[in-house]
Amino acid sequence: MAEPLIFERSVPGRRGYLLPPSDVPGFRADDIVPSDRLRTEPPPLPEIAEFDAIRHYTRLSQQNFSVDTHFYPLGSCTMKYNPKLNERIAALPGFAFLHPFQPAAQVQGMLALLYELEQLLCAITGMHAFTLQPAAGAQGELTGLKIIAAYHRRKGRRRSTILIPDSAHGTNPASAALSGFQVVQLVSGRDGLIDLNELKEKLTKDVAALMLTNPNTLGLFEREIKTIAAVLHEQDALIYMDGANMNALLGIARPGEMGVDLLQLNLHKTFSTPHGGGGPGAGPVGVVKRLEDFLPVPRVRKVGKRFRWEERSRASIGRVHGFYGNVGVLVRAYAYIRALGREGLMRANQAAIINANYLKAKLQPIFPVPFDDHCMHEFVVTLKALKTHGVTAGDVAKRLLDYGFYAPTVYFPLIVDEALMIEPTETESKETLDEFADALLAIEQEAKTKPDLVRQAPQRMIVERLDEVKAAREPNLRWKAGTFLFSPEGSTQRK
């Protein structure tokens, strides 16, 4: 059943939370603050009881698919199980209730954890130093690009081009543009990998760096990465690795040995911190030694047995976060790495790769894999054969919801027609993968025999397919009193 907006549950005078009474003598705002700086009316927030909130937000939650409730094979997002243990650790008052300006003596445990996490990430990736400050993968990219700019500045030159393969995540070119670079796209080779000739052709003196994802968004390892790095380094251009797909590499190969100069990790992917319906994430950036000086400040330092923040560094690109980054996320990732440990992380990685290849093997007889090789943690199939039945990848994605599966990433990477990008992760069982494969194969049959059923999916969700064109043409981004008529069968907009 549809759930009204919380505003539609509002009853004047209802209270949901009581504050403790004041224990100090009264001061009136009117006496203290000039009247032109005071609010005239209280903010018109909903007026509800505590139990109203419980019902409302519990019911709303039940309208979501989530990792805890459904298989969520969203490619490149690594939607693995988010251990409850990590939540418990992060909620300890000794982590959750710290103020960023407490003196170092009061937060030695916190600083020790952050320091050790940096060391662990260095060991896992083969990089020399890390900053934990970036709040998400894309902010990590931005940080990396600022470091790239600073590196070339120190060499007394300005380089303005970043090379990015056409298979890259959209954040790569967006981060490059936001950092003041111009983007030159590399057309992928026929094997879906970087084409060395294309690279050499576009590698002008103006190239500051190449941003690549390894394994790339097709789930393929860039076999020539050492040569690619060598070609770039010959021109003193840098190689930046988008580490979104690091789940594929744990215990197999390290970017440090591939010639990568800097990378970001997405802790909410590889290291199991929950995606939260869209964050918070964390995007630590690791660099080789010659780039260490450029890392953001402050940096955590160990002096003897004590830890402290170092606020200043002449070459640093500066701050990217108001404080030290998404510490609550960092604590969860630390707990994950320590709980799994060496053997656990390696076994998780093997299971992730086997799961992906197994699912690919099950689907491949029906759905072609355009760039076919053993994949790493994810793979991409094309549904273009269904076009003749008038069924798109988007339709199949919606139909999957009816079968009780969240949809894979659709229409990405852009170099594959009608793409489904599937990443099962290691925490799914063989039984789940079998059910998912059966569902996709059944949908393929439906597409041929009952295409309307697929085109009209989903039917079993709280709403049917939504009108996105209307949403964009007549943007309604906030509720206003009197604009809707609510009914349990579903509200309609008041004309």
Partner 1 sequence: MDYAPNTDAQLQEMLRTIGVGSFDELISTVPEDLHHRTLDAPSGLAEAQMITLGEQLAARNASLKEQASFLGAGCYHHLVPTVVDALASRGEWLTPYTPYQAEASQGTLQAIYEFQTMVCELFQMDLANASLYDGASSVAEAAALSLRVTERPRILVSEALHPHARQVVSTYLSGASAVLQEVPSVNGMTDLEALGKALRDDVACVIMQQPNVFGCLEDMGQAAQLTHRVGSLFVASVYPISLGLLQPPGAYGADIAVAEGRCLGSPPAYGGPGLGLFTATSALMRRVPGRLAGCTVDRAGRRGFTLTLQTREQHIRRERATSNICTNEGWLALRATIYMSLLGPQGFRELAQLNLEKAHYARERLLEIPWISATFDQPFFNEFTLTYDEAVKPEAVHRSLAKAGITGGLLLSDWYPLLSQSSLWCVTEVTSREAIDRLVDVLKKAV
Site for partner 1 in 9-68 (CB under 8 A): 14-20, 22-27, 29, 32-34, 36-40, 42-48, 50, 53-54, 56-58, 60-68
Pick the closer one to partner 1 by CB: 257 or 417.
Answer: 257
For residues 208, 234, 128 and 102, what is the CA-based torsion angle, rounded to 10 degrees?
-20
In the complex, the smallest distance separating the C-beta of residue 31 from partner 1, rounded to whole angstroms, is 10
Pick the closer one to partner 1 by CB: 142 or 447.
Answer: 142
Interface residue with partner 1, options 338, 384, 389, 448 (CB under 8 A):
338
In the complex, the smallest distance separating the C-beta of residue 482 from partner 1, rounded to whole angstroms, is 14
Interface residue with partner 1, options 127, 129, 176, 383 (CB under 8 A):
176
- Select from 150, 172, 154, 147 the least CA-distant residue to 162: 172
For residue 188, give the amino acid letter: S
Interface stretch with partner 1, choices 229-237, 287-295, 401-409, 441-449 (CB under 8 A): 401-409
Q: Are 259 and 230 in contact (CB under 8 A)?
A: yes
234 is an interface residue for partner 1 by CB under 8 A? no
Distance in angstroms (rounded) separating the CA atoms of residues 397 and 381: 13
Q: Pick out residues in 136-165 that bind partner 1 (CB under 8 A).
A: 136-139, 141-142, 146, 149
Structure tokens of 400? 């999957």
In the complex, the smallest distance separating the C-beta of residue 387 from partner 1, rounded to whole angstroms, is 21
103 is an interface residue for partner 1 by CB under 8 A? yes
464 is an interface residue for partner 1 by CB under 8 A? yes
196 is an interface residue for partner 1 by CB under 8 A? no
Neighbours of 146 (CB within 10 A): 20
453 is an interface residue for partner 1 by CB under 8 A? no
Interface residue with partner 1, options 180, 301, 390, 450 (CB under 8 A):
180
Pick the closer one to partner 1 by CB: 203 or 220.
Answer: 220
Q: What is the separation of C-alpha 82 from the centre of its chain, rounded to a whole number of angstroms?
A: 14
Neighbours of 34 (CB within 10 A): 7
Structure tokens of 44? 């018109």
Q: Are 379 and 219 in contact (CB under 8 A)?
A: yes
For residue 202, give the amino acid letter: K
Interface residue with partner 1, options 272, 291, 386, 440 (CB under 8 A):
272
Structure tokens of 55? 């019902």
Q: What is the DSSP string of 65-92?
A: --TTTSB--BTTS------HHHHHHHTS
Interface residue with partner 1, options 311, 417, 438, 452 (CB under 8 A):
311
Distance in angstroms (rounded) separating the CA atoms of residues 208 and 205: 8
366 is an interface residue for partner 1 by CB under 8 A? no
Q: Are 411 and 392 in contact (CB under 8 A)?
A: no
In the complex, the smallest distance separating the C-beta of residue 384 from partner 1, rounded to whole angstroms, is 21
449 is an interface residue for partner 1 by CB under 8 A? no
In the complex, the smallest distance separating the C-beta of residue 368 from partner 1, rounded to whole angstroms, is 17
Pick the closer one to partner 1 by CB: 16 or 368.
Answer: 16
Burial status of residue 359 (CB atoms within 10 A of its CB: 0-12, 13-18, 19 or more): buried
Interface stretch with partner 1, choices 116-124, 199-207, 232-240, 445-453 (CB under 8 A): 116-124
Pick the closer one to partner 1 by CB: 254 or 384.
Answer: 254
Interface residue with partner 1, options 127, 129, 135, 231 (CB under 8 A):
135
In the complex, the smallest distance separating the C-beta of residue 420 from partner 1, rounded to whole angstroms, is 13
Q: Are 376 and 280 in contact (CB under 8 A)?
A: no
Interface residue with partner 1, options 154, 155, 170, 445 (CB under 8 A):
170
225 is an interface residue for partner 1 by CB under 8 A? yes
For residues 321, 283, 79 and 328, what is the CA-based torsion angle, rounded to 10 degrees?
-50
In the complex, the smallest distance separating the C-beta of residue 460 from partner 1, rounded to whole angstroms, is 9
Interface residue with partner 1, options 254, 308, 384, 448 (CB under 8 A):
254
Interface stretch with partner 1, choices 79-87, 287-295, 380-388, 445-453 (CB under 8 A): 79-87
User: Which residue has tokens 């097709």?
Assistant: 218
CB burial of 398-417 (b: ≥16 within 10 Å; e: otherwise) equals bbbbbbebbbbbbebbebbe
Pick the closer one to partner 1 by CB: 213 or 326.
Answer: 326
95 is an interface residue for partner 1 by CB under 8 A? yes
Q: Are 273 and 282 in contact (CB under 8 A)?
A: yes
Pick the closer one to partner 1 by CB: 259 or 292.
Answer: 259
- Select from 52, 75, 9 the least CA-distant residue to 248: 75
Interface stretch with partner 1, choices 235-243, 321-329, 379-387, 438-446 (CB under 8 A): 321-329
In the complex, the smallest distance separating the C-beta of residue 90 from partner 1, rounded to whole angstroms, is 8
For residues 221, 227, 231 and 236, what is the CA-based torsion angle, rounded to 10 degrees?
80
Pick the closer one to partner 1 by CB: 219 or 388.
Answer: 219
Size of the site for partner 1 (CB under 8 A): 209
421 is an interface residue for partner 1 by CB under 8 A? no
3-state secondary structure 387-405: HHHCCCHHHHHHHHHHCCE
Q: What is the DSSP string of 114-183?
A: HHHHHHHHHHHHT-SEEE---SSHHHHHHHHHHHHHHHHHHTT----EEEEETTS-THHHHHHHHTTPEE
